[in-house]
Structure 1
């Protein structure tokens, strides 16, 4: 900046004064062009009165006092050079410090040294910020590698090769996660194989039992038709009822195996009213033995909705069957369908003893039996589990609570109205 004459060196004024000293001494009148840039001056008579110049009144008095004490004196941060001319005295005030060549810049930025410090700080801070941004982007790219590995493990996508990082510490974490991934994969594969084997065994057992059971039922029905004695008819009824119970249990076992396997929803257009009537007909038949008061209602329902009709029917009938089972004789049973925004809501309430706190938490879990004092022979802890599985498969939810209206259990099943194409495990 000094070489380009943008900044004048610190001794610029002093050198210029020396160069112009002869002209200042011999000129008829000291003019402004003889005074270097950035300097002030005053021309005095012998009686200390300033004749002309660029000094203010205060600067003129200070310069005269400095001259009286010493011809070349430092007054604060100002230096004075005195020229005794033939008829007058010229005093020039100058500073030994770098300054800008441009008067306009010098007016607003007088201190070049301070500007240097400011420029240094600006450049230093700029460099720090630039390095932080560059390293931040670099570190962010490396962290994304770590996040990608973690997300894959979280989603149980374990068949992948992790990327590597140039940062030693991150690379160590990735290696640890890779080891954990391999161990988790091995453990899950063992668990999945055991679960698959268990389901295959249950399914095979259910089908094996079903064959002799069919034979027993067929023969019992034949004996019933041919029997004329009341006792024989009674015993045949016992056999048939027991066989029905075993069949129900086998259907539950088969549902267990199917609920965990890969299922594809067979979605179609379901007419709401016809679906409602189908459930009500079955409900009426089941509830007749206990002489239950049935309250069946539809409210704000659409003409049709989409879903897998058979899965939904079985899910709802599981709840209805449970509600009938735990209702007292001559009790009440409520079944309602509501249309709500983009959902269809099925509500089932009974006036039995309701859910306990423990049951509200665990009733939808597989094989949960709840209160062991219950005497029901048809409750195997699978009804609500299967219902919950089928409703989730349909993209809906199941909520359990106790009825405020009639005091028993309350189950709400919500399913979407629009089609949902899912294949799930």
Structure 2
């Protein structure tokens, strides 16, 4: 059974079928031959007895000929006794004519008209065959050892009505030739079906579990055939579905956290807006134009903070979608760099910060990326550097190499502490000291990480030699020569 189990798991179904067919044919032939030999051996004595009786019946007219006696003697085994007697109780010949058993004398006296079989006390059978024709009027008596099947009424009845050959063919030969292959094929079919039925039951069970929403199970994929391919595909589907549901559950939890965090962050600007609106609309307050303008500026500023937070939340939901698309193009690196310079040179100058760009590429060089999204990334990073650099320098480095495009923003601010470096790209992280909490949702660098990831790139943060912060981005050339990619 262990070998059959191995075959069911390792061989292809077609090979299994051919192998089972060959094995069943071989075993059926082998078993049929063995059974026929056994039954031939078991019915050997019965065959001999009926051959003798047939010879006697069909050659009764020549019963007194010497050739008849000679032939009869040749076909009667040595352990058989026989006698031929005539009407006057004369015994022309026999195996032991002078030592005839008393049962034989009794049969001769009664002269039955039909064949008679008598079992003696010594477990012998005495068969009497009446002989009546123009040459002889008497009978033939045969004495032989009673063995299996010799004294069966049913067998003897069938043989008397037909013949020994007809009986053997009808009840032994043909049943063996028909039943043996049928039984062997039936057994092998069950074994073959079992090898298929077991994994099918496992698939049905797995389907029911998935239908019930259960994915915490595994499927046996040890089958190295077509069934194994189906099981493996089903198991991969289960794992993918499980991972997808886990990811979906994680994203739902993260969205809940984001909404909760956004709700908490929005409370402050809404409270400020409400306070200033009440101040402006107060009937008992006599506000100067300057005070009203300051209140309106505060309202506009906090409303803008709310707009930015909501926009960031919508952007994250968009970026986290599996079917989110980047709109990439072969962008001129010189043009892209000049735009970054135009955006931040004046802002840094007003804050007494030196903004420096170090470019390592040819003027005509291009690189394939989404310029709008990457501009958003750099604006976010450089804006953070401006926010936390009171004075000094902010340096933007851009370098094109064969390996890809390297972007780096460094400042001379206070840099990151160890915890910030570990969680800085997480959602809603605002730093240990809470410096960002009043003006930031904590989603900016998380958005940067998502956008760079959609480009199949990497982003990392570290402290530079001056003690300030550095953020480095690498974009691989995998998006080159594409106008649009579909993110996975």
TM-score (normalised: structure 1): 0.49
TM-score (normalised: structure 2): 0.43
Larger radius of gyration: 2
